[in-house]
Amino acid sequence: MNATTVSGRKQPLIYRLPVISHFRKSIGLQRGMLVTGLVLTIAFLLTTVLAPVIAPYGYSQLSDASGTFPAQQAPSGNHILGTTVGGYDVFSRVIWGSQTAVVVIVVAVAMSIFLGVALGLLSGYFGGWLDRVLVVIADAIYAFPSLLLAIVMSIVISRGQSSFWGGILACSFAIAVVFVPQYFRVIRAETIRLKAEPFVESAKVVGASSIRIMGRHIFKNATRTLPLIFTLNASEAILTLAGLGFLGFGIEPSSAAEWGFDLNKAMADASSGIWWTGVFPGAAIVLTVLGLTLVGESMNDLNDPRLRGRKSAGGKVPGGGGGSDARTGAQAALEAEARTL
Amino acid sequence: MTTLTEAPPSDADGLLPSKKKSSGGGLGTYILVRFFLILPTMFILVTMVFFLMRVIGDPITAAQGGRLPPDVLAQRIHDAGYDRPILVQYFEYLGQVATGNFGTTITDRRPVVAMLATFGTATLELAINAVIVALLVGIPLGMIAAHRRDKAPDAVLRFFAILCYATPVFFAGLLLKLTFSVWLGWLPVAGRASTRTELAMGSLAAPTGVYWLDALRSGNMTALGDVMAHAVLPAVALGLLTAGVFLRLVRTNLIGTLGKDYVEAGRSRGVSEFRLVTKHAYKPALIPIITVMGLQIALLLGGAVLTETTFEWKGLGYQLVQYLNARDFVAVQGIVVLLAVIVAVTNFVVDVFAALIDPRVRY
């Protein structure tokens, strides 16, 4: 799972960065998947940054100089993707929705990384009863339907709050709680492995404090897999946010544009054949999640030499060398899969 | 995990062949220990849900605050015992849950257990239908992808699997509704059955609550057709979500077994490719497949909440959202605890199942 290519000479920094090194390693189908994912993800990020330029109206704008927007209007010149039952411009809300998604991803994942890494380091390094208690709790949370947990959390936190940051924070925190056990598990396992390494021992001999050993020696070595989990969690965060919004526990429409909430309102429209209010926010979710998942999946495959396509494999890749090799390869992929879900 | 393979005393007199001795005892102990591992999980989840729900305040103020005069409200809170210290309430709740008493809902004053039984069957029906769809789609497609590894069909199918994951169930539901109900007019838009069938189902003696089973038992073929028509779209929406996972699972594990020597040996003996994939390679791949499929129950239940809301399928998920909106936290607590029990028990059953199939699985 090393992000850098194994070679005697150190590669320039730019080639050692996660996504770029992956790109250089990839061939054929895998490169296709990675590139598709990257294109979708970059498009998503550009939309976020350029939202004020692209979106013709504000996300909660109901009228302009020529008057109030008509409700449930089919796509036309003025509103290229039509308007919703509340009179919002669908195109503008889809564009602004990407900003909400990015903010929630960043806040949620940052919170869960911080908590998960800190707890994982503590638990793995010190062991003992603290470790046992934390593992049991993390397993219990991990086994629970994540959406349900997020719903309960968002109710507890927001209690019907509707301000932009209030809603965003409530959603992010609800999502973060679901993710903490994942980071916790990975970091804890790595910490336990690294704890036995000679360099930790020598640091102890030199007299480094536990905090310094955890923060410097172990932390730096244990975080190699984080970019991968980050990408996969980012897509899950969008799905959870949309799920919360769809069930009505997300962010109010007047304080931010949120795709899931728009889909909730669109359900009633669908029965009467009004398709544009739901199809476009839905497509935005699918494309964004698709992009992030493709990037994450490709990185996962490329990190594992047994799953990686070879440049000179002569066309046929019969699943590694021997049978047992292929088996462990499958097992590793399975574990990675279990982590994604 | 510690090793638990010491032979029980009954085996010591050498009545059993020596090989069976350790594995037989190991299995029994394993199942027992695995069973007791459910308890801490359950305990933590019940505790977590209880305290999270109480952070908001007492259930009666949450549900009816503002609608009742303060003195009536205070009286109600006192009668229900919500003004006692939180720890007293917590231990009382633990005792009640242990004896299967989940209290009475605040908004519609029903025993929580009865409410769970009514809506649970609807969710069960949806889950069964969805798993059937997922298996029918996921397993054959996974076999094709594994067999044609790194070729065009594999690429298309892997993309399909990721697409299944990337599409939220409610969006899949919306697209299905638009296509098959609104434009083509083939299938009903929402609900579990039309009103007439609902009434017929309700008047049955000793209904199971699973509509197609009830319709089948009463021999009412019109009702059966109606129930089936209503079941298709929700089952497909939820089933596709899981089908993507199954597809990848079958593919990954089949690729592992397809590379084994005995498969090559079978091929050299002239066993057909179809048989090699569906029998020789598939059967040994089943254990990890079953294990991970079992773990998907959490995904399935989470998806069920969204699917039920999308299709107004009156099950636990639909009802959960209703109760949440009404701030009826006694009911919410009951539903969440029940779902936690289902997940924990399913994981237990899956582990035992895997241990029964594969004697190597012992911890």
Q: Which of A279, A320, A331 sits opposite B259 (nearest CB)?
A: A320
Q: Is A125 on the interface with B (CB under 8 A)?
A: no
Q: CA neighbours within 13 Å on the CB side: how many for A162?
A: 8
Q: What is the pLDDT of residues B314-333, one digit of tens each?
A: 888 888 888 887 777 778 88
| B339-361 mean pLDDT | 77
User: Which among A267, A280, A298, A317 is the top mutation candidate for probing chain B, defined by the most B β-carbons within 10 Å of its own β-carbon?
Assistant: A267
pLDDT of A312 over the 50 cut: no
Cα–chain center distance at A53? 26
pLDDT of A309 over the 60 cut: no
pLDDT of A327 over the 70 cut: no
Least confident of A265-279, A307-321, B64-78: A307-321
Predicted local distance difference test score (pLDDT) of residue B161: 86
pLDDT of B177 over the 80 cut: yes
Least confident of A12-16, A119-123, A329-333, B269-273: A329-333
**Partners of residue A338 in chain B, C-beta under 8 Å:** 292, 295
**Partners of residue A330 in chain B, C-beta under 8 Å:** 252-253, 255-256
* Inter-residue contact B290 to B358 (CB < 8 Å): no
In chain A, which among 210-239 make CB contacts under 8 A with chain B?
A: 235, 239
pLDDT band at A235 (very low <50, low <70, confident <90, very high): confident
Q: Is the Cβ pair B177, A156 closer than 8 Å?
A: no
Measured CA angle at B296 (ends B294, B302), to 5 deg = 135
Token pair of B117 as six digits:
């039984």
In this prediction, what percent of chain B has a pLDDT beyond 70?
81
Q: Where are the alpha helices (H) located in chain A, listed in sequence order?
A: 13-16, 18-25, 28-54, 90-126, 128-143, 146-158, 164-195, 198-206, 210-212, 219-222, 226-247, 259-271, 276-303, 323-340
Q: Is the Cβ pair A145, B302 closer than 8 Å?
A: yes
Q: Is the Cβ pair A293, B162 closer than 8 Å?
A: yes
Q: Is A156 on the interface with B (CB under 8 A)?
A: yes
- The whole-angstrom distance between B157's CA and the closest CA on chain A is 13
Q: Is the Cβ pair A148, B183 closer than 8 Å?
A: no
Main-chain phi, psi angles of A294, to 5 degrees: -60, -45
Predicted local distance difference test score (pLDDT) of residue A3: 45
- Rounded to whole angstroms, the Cα distance separating B97 from B91 reads 10
In this prediction, what percent of chain A has a pLDDT beyond 70?
69
Q: Is the Cβ pair B339, A235 closer than 8 Å?
A: no
Q: What is the pLDDT of residues B19-43, one digit of tens each?
A: 444 444 577 787 787 788 778 778 8
pLDDT band at A34 (very low <50, low <70, confident <90, very high): confident
* Inter-residue contact A103 to A167 (CB < 8 Å): no
In this prediction, what percent of chain B has a pLDDT beyond 90?
0
- Rounded to whole angstroms, the Cα distance separating B29 from A98 reads 53
Q: Is the Cβ pair B256, A331 closer than 8 Å?
A: yes
* Inter-residue contact A32 to A39 (CB < 8 Å): no
Alpha-carbon distance values, B36 to A319, B41, B43, B133, B247 (Å): 40, 10, 11, 33, 33
Q: Is A311 on the interface with B (CB under 8 A)?
A: no
Write down the number of H helices and E strands in chain B.
16, 0
Report ipTM (2 d.p.): 0.77
Contacts of B326 (CB under 8 A, 6+ apart): B63, B107
Q: Is the Cβ pair A294, B49 closer than 8 Å?
A: no
The overall average pLDDT reported for chain B is: 76
pLDDT of B106 over the 80 cut: no
Token pair of B349 as six digits:
């059953």
pLDDT of A47 over the 80 cut: yes
Predicted local distance difference test score (pLDDT) of residue A270: 72
Q: Which of B170, B288, B298 sits opposite A246 (nearest CB)?
A: B170
| A162-166 mean pLDDT | 66
In chain A, which among 157-186 make CB contacts under 8 A with chain B?
A: 159
**Residue B200 or residue A219, greater confidence:** A219
Closest C-alpha among B296, B297, B299, B321 to residue B308: B321
Main-chain phi, psi angles of B104, to 5 degrees: -120, 140
pLDDT of B130 over the 70 cut: yes
**Residue B293 or residue A162, greater confidence:** B293
Predicted local distance difference test score (pLDDT) of residue B356: 76
pLDDT of A168 over the 50 cut: yes
If 0-12 CB within 10 Å is exposed, 13-18 middle and 19+ buried, where does residue A73 land?
A: middle
Q: Is the Cβ pair B45, A144 closer than 8 Å?
A: yes
